[in-house]
Chains A and B, each alone.
Chain A
């Protein structure tokens, strides 16, 4: 993908940005350490206490079973929202009338605050995992639908005309021009969706589930184990970033095959 004449500049850029990130991290940790000296551990645990709690978590089976529960919920919700997002996005992209009919629905779904869905879900599904799956799905599938729809309106008509001029079959136009054009939009939709999903998942579990990473947070809050809240937070951020990178890589891989 990378141009060879600019590869060196890019490597240098990467090094510089890496150094920058490291520097920022050191400053933040130092400030955190200084601040934590002024408060007790219940208000603000220091970096060392957080690290210790992190190691404890990683050695604890409850953590892994909670993680598993959360992941199953996340994957279920993602499967639902990818299915719905693709269906809505493709229908809206391919058929103009469907776009006019459905886009108000999508925009309304997007402007409702997630906490409202949460309240409703707690009434409808009760305090279990289903409420969480519901809010993750209902908030994240419109993101994918809107992105795909956008992708359709950005397909270069000149490229399609080129395909027609060289007598590409309909399926060849779809496979070699339309789908690759949509992939960038699909990729960004998926990445936004994933980070949104993690955040909503945790919120849902904190508010309305007796299991999963979110409920570990609730327990920690009730037991005033602030260090545990911090270390769980750190882990959630790490999972969120890892899954976004994973999704990006997956779509990119597919992109290269085409």
Chain B
């Protein structure tokens, strides 16, 4: 067990954001959390990382270190691609750094500064940095949000390669169903506010063999769309 969330509630003043939510992340498991915009996904991540405390319920943590990939790239503009990645874990090996850079297709750009790269490339650096940091759990908060569809799919490939390069638990928040279908072992669908788990899907097909047009993924997609567009909170 990497983290166990037990029946937590959280409110900002009068506004109840999360209610009676329980979730367990197992070792090396990839979980995608999906829900309508503004349903409290980022709040949930903040509760998990410990920067917010739940009003009731508890969270048990079984990890030592936590890695992050943010919505924005948050790269240091004065450092090169290589330095931006290596800075989070100076003790890791050079070979590992080279390997990570290869996995996000940034070979040849090691000495570039962020200002010389496109938005998609900068986000690749940010993703590489998240995976380079030795942590048992990696939190990813809509890391592909600002990118167009083709770029998102290509970066998702990189993420899958990185995830399989060195297994760890991943908690990936998104509002894009296709990203979740391609990446997750388990998809958690949050209901509208206050957010609780509306439904859970387990996908057993290995990531590399998945096809968005396949029957089971289409079925899951339709179910999720139906839940997200339903008027009343299904919790």
Contact = CB atoms under 8 A, between A and B. Distances in A.
Given A1-B113, A166-B88, A180-B78, A158 B68 contact: no
Interface string B59-84: 00000011110101010101100000
Q: How many residues of B sit at the interface, in one of the four size bands?
A: 10 to 19
Contacts of B133: 166
Interface string A1-16: 1011000000000000
A158 B116 CA distance: 20
Contact of A255 (B68, B78, B115, B116): B78
B1 interface: no
Q: How many residues of A sit at the interface, in one of the four size bands?
A: 10 to 19
Given A3-B116, A166-B68, A176 B74 contact: no
A177 B75 CA distance: 10
User: Chain B at the A interface: mostly helix, strand, loop or mixed?
Assistant: loop
A39 to B, nearest CB: 52
A176 B87 contact: yes
Given A166-B88, A166-B133, A177 B76 contact: yes
A121 to B, nearest CB: 40
Contacts of A223: none
A162 B70 contact: yes
B76 A165 contact: no
A166 B49 CA distance: 12
A3 B66 CA distance: 34
Contact of B78 (A3, A4, A158, A258): A258
A161 B78 CA distance: 17
A167 interface: yes
B116 A180 contact: no
Interface string A172-188: 00001100100100000
A3 B72 CA distance: 22
Contact of A167 (B65, B70, B72): B65
6 contacts: A162-B68, A165-B49, A166-B87, A167-B65, A176-B79, A180-B76
Interface of B: 49, 65-68, 70, 72, 74, 76, 78-79, 87-88, 113, 115-116, 133
